[in-house]
Amino acid sequence: MKAKRVLALSLALALTFSVAGVMTGCGKDGKTGKDGKKVTLEVLTQRTDLDQNGTLAKVTKAFEDANNCTVKYISYTNYADDVSTRMGTNDFGDVLMIPDSVKLEELSNFFEPLDTYTNASTKWDCVDSKMYEDQVYGYPTALNIAGGIVYNKTVFENAGITKMPTTPDEFIADLKLIAEKCEGVIPLYTNFAAAWPLAQWQGLVCSASGDSSYETNILKDKSTLFEEGNAYYTVYKMMYDVLSDKTLREPDPSSTDWDGSKVALAKGQIGTLVLGSWGVAQIREEAVKNNLDPDTIGYMVMPSNVDGKQYAQISADYCMGVNKNSTQKELAKKFVEWYCADSGIATSEMAICAVKGSEKPAFMEGVNTFINEATPEEYQGVFNKIDKESEIGTWDTDVANFKIKMCEAAFANKGESEFESIIKDVNTKWEASRKEIMGE
Amino acid sequence: MKNKKTFGQWVTSYTGQKYLTTFLFLLIPLVLLVVFTFIPAINMVIFSFQSRDQFGITVEWVGLQNYKTVFDTSADYLITFKNSIYYMIGSAFQLGFALLLATILCSKIKFKGLFKGVLFFPYLMNGVAVSLIFRRFFQMGDGIVTQNGTLNTIITSLGGEAIPFLSNPNIANFCLVFASMWKYMGFDILMFIGAIQSISQDVYEASDLDGVNPWQRFKYIVFPSIKSIISLQLILSIKGAVSVFDIPYIITGGKFGTNTFVIKTIETGFVFKKFGLASAMAVVLLMIIIVVTIIQKVLFKEDSDYVPKRRRYFRDKEVAK
């Protein structure tokens, strides 16, 4: 008897709540209910800043109106990790930035093919970044110079530097000038504690080679990563030499602060930061926030030259793809095209829109830029596979990474021999994994 | 002969209600335990025999290959246990300090409760919070982007020169161990206080009559009574030392020679996408902890046997009554 009563009571309670829920639900949907069924497109993005300050919503209004739909952005601070976890299910939004954790050969398991490469490459630049076997799975949201050096023009002027460095030695000499002549200015800030800024040095490598198929050629020639005088060697030797001199960097690399370093560069308290060109927009923004002239922020390419000419490699930022399990693939594809081509977000971020022939931002004027050739089918994903298998991690900053080891050795001033032994170790690991994956 | 009850009757009866309530109360924790602990743990063991990445699109069974890699001494996996030694030595000191403080707190002093609370508080704090505090504490500023932390401020105000504590491979581990000691000492103190307070007052009185000094009292009365708690804490600290993670991960990120096995496991899984290998590393860690636990059980068997025997004696007496 009692049990029945309890049951009845709980049922009644459950009903009350669900009715209440339905009613409030109706109330909320009442406004949009008028114009029939409006589809919602869920878009996952790494741009928490643009999402939170309302820029994305403002820009997207045009697309929503034209296609009678609602676009819902979900932004993640820790994008690649969080979204990779979410991709364990089928529910990972309709449109998303393709995280690099997805191997090229596995793209088709998650993403809808957008076009063939033959077709897409007539309209887009760098569209080979997320392609496998002639199928393109994502368009680049923006193109940037992969690696370069953001610097403060006033600091360079005060140090009496008139000519931009064209070799690593000149660069180091300039940093020394800053250290001598500018009191209280850190010539180069490593941001070592955050670790990821060290991966920005890797962005310099392709530029230093001046070769548009550099990685493919390493595989083709079966050469190792570090050879005296090659691009890897030049870039990381420069890093090692700069960091070995403790007057050229911050005193305690374990106590650095990325957000603070942007402001300090804008204020002229830091001379240089090694960053991809995406960093320029962010630091200019800091300058504006602090009532400083954003035009004091300059950008120089890798100070090295191939036959007297300096190069800068242009590469794709995150590529945007369509979830294979999406229920609105056509609309989603339309959105990707719009976002990457017509939204104007890339341009407003001082990057290049991926559509061929797009305008370059002013600071890239006069720079010899090049775009990497598409990787031939037989080498697609191979470089990355060797890189991960050997645990070298050219773009990673794990504790045992060669970049971290080099920095630690440089901070402890261990000298040339330590550098040689680190690169020897990298080469051995590379050789072993290359033989395992590609055969002799 | 009892009448056969229907299920409805059984449920409403006293026994039925008792079982039903017990079952319902246990249901939620059990479901949580199974879903978030047992299923992932079983999966982890299965993964450890596979070569796979996070998504598990291409899965290959590799047998014991992953375990061979972990135990390969030329690879960098097993070597990361090296830093656990710092934490083990640290915890020995930590136990010493804790014992000292516990003894003091058990004597007649004022504000006992306050001191206990203050000393136990760090243990209640989240490991992340503790790590952030100590990152700030050991920081050395450049005067532009970052400012000196607490310790360096004191040093410089005394006329010394700021020291990059966390960027020196010779010091960094000690700083981390210090943070770890600070956090876990409160727990040890509480355990010791409990053990000391369980010593019968009669023993003290008897010893007072014999005219013992405080040191003798500690050596012959307190220490033997809490010996088992000390060994228990030592063994627990070994478990903690092999699986240390949050403090080094947040304060130094494992750099400057402060890497640990768990950090290495995470990087193997999430940076190099070797989920099979990372799972094998986790299983190895689990095995080590199980072995330590077994050792602990074996070592403390004597003591734990001793107590039930006495209890059995009393119980038997009661039954006989």
**pLDDT of B213-239, one tens digit each?**
888 888 888 888 888 888 888 888 888
Question: Whole-angstrom Cα distance, residue B266 to residue A241?
Answer: 31
Q: In this structure, is residue B112 part of a structural domain? A: yes
In chain A, helix, strand, coil percent, each to 5?
50, 15, 35
Radius of gyration of chain A (CA): 25
Predicted local distance difference test score (pLDDT) of residue B299: 78
Mean pLDDT calculated for residue range B184-210 = 88
Q: Please report which confidence band the pLDDT of residue B44 belongs to, taking 50, 70 and 90 as the band edges.
A: very high
A contacts of B172 (beta carbons < 8 Å)? 254
CB atoms within 10 A of CB A387: 20
Determine the distance in angstroms separating the CA of B280 from the nearest CA of chain A, rounded to an integer. 16
Residues 6+ positions from B193 with CB-CB distance below 8 Å: B102, B105, B106, B116
Question: Whole-angstrom Cα distance, residue B46 to residue B61?
Answer: 10
**pLDDT of B115-143, one tens digit each?**
989 999 999 999 999 999 999 999 998 88
Question: What residue in B sits closest to A392 (Cα-Cα)?
Answer: B272
Q: Please report which confidence band the pLDDT of residue B109 belongs to, taking 50, 70 and 90 as the band edges.
A: confident
Please state the separation of Cα A8 from the chain's center in Å: 58
Residues in chain A: 440
Q: In this structure, is residue B184 part of a structural domain? A: yes
Contact A141, A340 (CB under 8 A): yes
Question: Whole-angstrom Cα distance, residue A69 to residue A172?
Answer: 54
Question: Whole-angstrom Cα distance, residue A385 to residue A398?
Answer: 17
Contact call for A101 and B169, based on CB within 8 A: no
Closest CA to A276 of A239, A313, A233: A313
- Using 70 as the pLDDT threshold, list the residues of chain A that sit under it: 1-36, 440
**pLDDT of A211-246, one tens digit each?**
999 999 999 988 899 998 899 999 999 999 999 998
Determine the distance in angstroms separating the CA of B304 from the nearest CA of chain A, rounded to an integer. 44
Parent domain of B132: 83-259
Question: Whole-angstrom Cα distance, residue A343 to residue A354?
Answer: 11
- Residue of B11, B173, B252, B255 for testing the chain A interface, max A β-carbons within 10 Å: B255
Contact call for B254 and A399, based on CB within 8 A: yes
Of A3, A106, A391, the CB nearest to B57: A106
Mean pLDDT calculated for residue range B286-312 = 71
- Is this complex's ipTM strictly greater than 0.90? no
Predicted local distance difference test score (pLDDT) of residue B260: 93
Determine the distance in angstroms separating the CA of A95 from the nearest CA of chain B, rounded to an integer. 19
Question: What residue in B sits closest to A270 (Cα-Cα)?
Answer: B144
More confident position, B321 or B208: B208
DSSP state letter for A125? S
Q: Please report which confidence band the pLDDT of residue B56 belongs to, taking 50, 70 and 90 as the band edges.
A: confident
A contacts of B139 (beta carbons < 8 Å)? 252, 254-255
Contact A205, A218 (CB under 8 A): no
Contact A280, A300 (CB under 8 A): no
* Percentage of residues in chain B having pLDDT higher than 70: 92
Interface of B with A (CB under 8 A): 8, 11-12, 53-55, 57-58, 76, 139-146, 149, 162, 164-167, 169, 172, 252-257, 259, 263-264, 267-268, 270-274
Contact call for B255 and A269, based on CB within 8 A: no
DSSP state letter for B309? H
Of A254, A388, A400, the CB nearest to B273: A388
Question: What residue in A sits closest to B164 (Cα-Cα)?
Answer: A252
A contacts of B252 (beta carbons < 8 Å)? 254
CA torsion sign for A404, A409, A415, A419 is: negative
Radius of gyration of chain B (CA): 26
Contact call for B259 and A101, based on CB within 8 A: no
Predicted local distance difference test score (pLDDT) of residue B315: 53
Q: In this structure, is residue B137 part of a structural domain? A: yes
- Residue of B13, B77, B271 for testing the chain A interface, max A β-carbons within 10 Å: B271
Contact B179, B165 (CB under 8 A): no
Question: Global pTM?
Answer: 0.84
Predicted local distance difference test score (pLDDT) of residue B212: 85
Interface of A with B (CB under 8 A): 2-3, 81, 84-85, 87-88, 101-103, 106, 109-110, 184, 186, 189, 192-193, 195, 250-257, 260-261, 263-264, 269-270, 388-389, 391, 393, 396, 398-400, 404, 408, 411-412
Predicted local distance difference test score (pLDDT) of residue B218: 84
Predicted local distance difference test score (pLDDT) of residue B313: 52
Q: In this structure, is residue B227 part of a structural domain? A: yes
Number of domains in chain B: 1
Residues 6+ positions from A238 with CB-CB distance below 8 Å: A168, A171, A172, A303, A304
Residue type, A281: A
Determine the distance in angstroms separating the CA of B244 from the nearest CA of chain A, rounded to an integer. 16
Contact call for A88 and B144, based on CB within 8 A: no
Question: What residue in A sits closest to B263 (Cα-Cα)?
Answer: A399
CA torsion sign for A157, A163, A168, A169 is: negative
Mean pLDDT rounded to a whole number for chain B: 86
Residues 6+ positions from B84 with CB-CB distance below 8 Å: B241, B242, B244, B260, B261
Predicted local distance difference test score (pLDDT) of residue A1: 45
Strands of the A95-97 sheet, one edge to the other: A69-75, A39-45, A95-97, A319-322, A139-140
DSSP state letter for A96? E
Question: Whole-angstrom Cα distance, residue A296 to residue A303?
Answer: 20
Residues 6+ positions from A314 with CB-CB distance below 8 Å: A125, A126, A143, A144, A145, A146, A352, A369, A370, A371
A contacts of B254 (beta carbons < 8 Å)? 399
Contact call for A250 and B166, based on CB within 8 A: no
Three-state secondary-structure class, residue A323: strand
Residues 6+ positions from A272 with CB-CB distance below 8 Å: A149, A150, A151, A152, A175, A187, A188, A189, A265
Query: Exposed/middle/buried for A304, CB within 10 Å: 0-12, 13-18, 19+?
Result: buried
Question: What residue in A sits closest to B260 (Cα-Cα)?
Answer: A399
Helices marked H in A272-328: 278-289
Which CATH number covers residue B192?
Answer: 1.10.3720.10
